[in-house]
Amino acid sequence: MQQRVSGIYVKIHLKWNGILFLEAVSHIILLDIIFKRIYEGSITGKLTDKRSSILKQ
C-alpha cells in the first residue's frame, strides 16, 4: 500500500513540476516576444505609426 501511494505521489509531483516548468517556459517566451516587439518598435516606431494611421483610414 505504501509503495502504491508513493508512486502516485511521484506521478502527481512530476505532473505539477511539468506544468510549472511549461508555464515558466511559456512566460519566458512571452516576455521574449514582448521585449522584441518593444525593441523593434522603438527602432521602427515611426514606420509602425505611419502603417497604423494608413490602416485606420
pLDDT per residue over 8-54, tens digit each? 666 666 666 666 777 777 788 888 888 888 777 776 666 656 666 66
What is the identity of the amino acid at 8? I
Q: Is residue 41 within 8 Å of 48, Cβ to Cβ?
A: yes
Ordered by start, the domain boundaries in the chain are 2-56
Q: What is the largest CA-CA distance in the chain?
A: 70
Question: For residue 48, how many other CB atoms are within 10 A of its CB?
Answer: 13
State the pLDDT at residue 18.
Answer: 66
For residue 1, pLDDT over 60 is answered with no
- DSSP E strands: which ranges in the chain? none
**Angle, helix 2-43 to helix 45-56, in steps of 10 degrees:** 90
State the pLDDT at residue 41.
Answer: 72
